[in-house]
Amino acid sequence: MSDASPVTLERDGHAAWLTLNRPEARNALSLPTLNLLRDLLAEIRADDSIWAVVLTGAGDKAFCAGADLKERRVMPEDMVPQFVRQIRATMDDIASLPQPTIAAMNGHAFGGGCEMALACDLRILDEGAMIGLTETSLAIIPGAGGCVRLPYLVGAAKAKELILLARRLGAAEAQSIGLVHEVAPAGRAREQASAMLAALQKNGPLALRAAKDAIDGGLDRTVEQALEYEAACYQRIIPTEDRLEALAAFAEKRAPDFAGR
C-alpha cells in the first residue's frame, strides 16, 4: 500500500482540487481518509480566496468505491456507528460548503462514492463508468445522505427503484434521469471539470455563493419563506465591489475582472 496521503488538496488559481488518493483501494473511504478529508474541507470553507471546488479520484478505475469494506470487516462492532456518523458528517460538510462543488467522477461511483457525488452541486461522469447506491446488496442502507439527497434529484419513485434494487447505472442512463449533469469522453472527466470550472469562474464568486445558498436554503421552506430567503441572499450582493465591476464591464463592453469582494 502507498504511503502517500489518502487525500490531496491542490490549488489552481481560485479553484481547489480535492483528490481521493487511494487508487490501490479504488479510493475507498477509510476512517483516516474521512478524518483528513473533513480537515481539508474545513480549510476550504474558511478560505474566501477559493471560489470553486472539484472532488475527484486518483487513477482511472474508480472515483470512489464507497466505504472501505476491508477496514469494516475488522472494525469492532461498537466502532461502526462512529464510522457511519463520520461518513455522513463528511458528506454534510461537502454539501454545506459555500463554494460551488463539482464531482469529477473519473471511474465508478458506488455506495459512499455516489453519496459524495450527490453532496456536490454539479456532477460529471466518465462515459465508461457506472454509478449507484448499492448498499442493500450488502444488507445495509445508504447512510450518508443517499436516501435523502437522491429523491431530491430523481424523485421518490425512481430513488426507491435504484436503492431497493441496488441498481448500477451507466453514464448515459444516469444523465437521462438527472443524476449526473454531463458525461465526459473516456478518461476526460477531469478535463471536462476544468472546462466547467472555467465557465463558473466567469461569474461573480460572491454571486455563486449567494445563489447556491438561496437554492439550498429554500428547499425546505414554503414558497413565501423561500422567496424571503432569496431576497436576503440578494441583499448580501448589493454592496459588493464585484456587482459594480460587472455593471462597469457591461457598459464598457469588456469581460469583468472579479475580485471576490
Q: Give, in words, the CATH class of 205-252.
A: mainly alpha
Query: Per-domain residue ranges for the chain?
Result: 7-200, 205-252
State the helix-helix crossing angle for 31-45 and 80-95, rounded to 10 degrees: 30
Mean pLDDT of 31-35: 92
Can you give the C-alpha Rg of the chain in angstroms?
19
* Model pLDDT, residue 77: 78
184 versus 85: the higher-pLDDT residue is 184
Q: How many helices (H) and strands (E) does the chain have?
A: 11, 10
Query: What value does the mean pLDDT take over residues 12-24?
Result: 95
pTM above 0.85, yes or no: yes
User: What H or E segment, with its residue span, contains residue 19?
Assistant: strand 15-20
Alpha carbon distances (Å) from 39 to 18, 34, 106, 246: 12, 9, 23, 35
| CB 131 within 8 Å of CB 125 | yes
Q: What span, in angstroms and rounded, lies between the C-alpha atoms of 95 and 97?
A: 6
Instruction: Grade residue 3 by pLDDT with cuts at 50, 70 and 90.
Output: low
Give the Cα separation of 106 and 191 in Å (integer).
10
pLDDT at 201 over 50: yes
- Active-site residues, by number, are 67, 112, 115, 135
Contacts for 208-214: CB closer than 8 Å, 24+ residues apart: 208/51, 208/52, 208/99, 208/100, 209/98, 209/99, 209/100, 210/234, 210/236, 210/237, 212/98, 212/99, 212/100, 212/121, 213/98
pLDDT, tens digit, 9 for 90 and up, residues 97-142: 999 999 999 999 999 999 999 999 999 999 999 999 999 999 999 9
Cβ 85 vs Cβ 34: under 8 Å:
no
CATH of the domain spanning 7-200, picked from 3.40.50.300, 3.40.47.10, 1.10.3720.10, 3.90.226.10: 3.90.226.10
Beta pairing, strands 108-110 & 130-132: parallel
Q: What percent of the chain has pLDDT over 90?
A: 89
* Distance set, CA 199 to CA 14, 55, 172, 256 (Å): 13, 17, 23, 13
